[in-house]
Structure 1
């Protein structure tokens, strides 16, 4: 059993994470960052939940780039093959659920 206070979680580097759980090869991790990630495609599906702050999520569909502003409580689902990149607007905390070892 563990309790994590996401609002007070910080890391020593951008996208630093705390492992919350690994359930049958699916990981749940709490990330802290104040820097953009990189364009990537996960090995499987990904669920991205904003717990604190605001994130501009950029993604590509049919060769066109799109952008959506995610606020606290918003959830972004990236299906297999969805190229995307997260751009935090200041400090953010996000919960990411994905296949273990995914990018």
Structure 2
């Protein structure tokens, strides 16, 4: 259910920002989707960091974990030509930030 909430955030974004971003440079649709997922994962980790002392932390952490996993899964599906070192390093840093978050207290 929490993951569903995360996906709802993903697909209810404004279409105007999508068009503007796509017009600034030419990238493959899967690469555009990967970059979008990466930004969403960064945001979700930020929400989890901000909510560590609140009752929402467990849900925000779960959303962050789902977002990072979706990003990693899509990265693994990218064609070899789209996989370049800065993205691999960025994903490692993303995973490191997620792993540094404490487990929620039940």
Is TM more than 0.5 here? no
Q: TM-score range by the shorter chain?
A: under 0.3
Which entry has the higher C-alpha Rg, 1 or 2? 2
| TM-score normalised by the chain length of structure 2 | 0.25
From the two aligned structures, give the one with the greater strand fraction: 1
| TM-score normalised by the chain length of structure 1 | 0.26
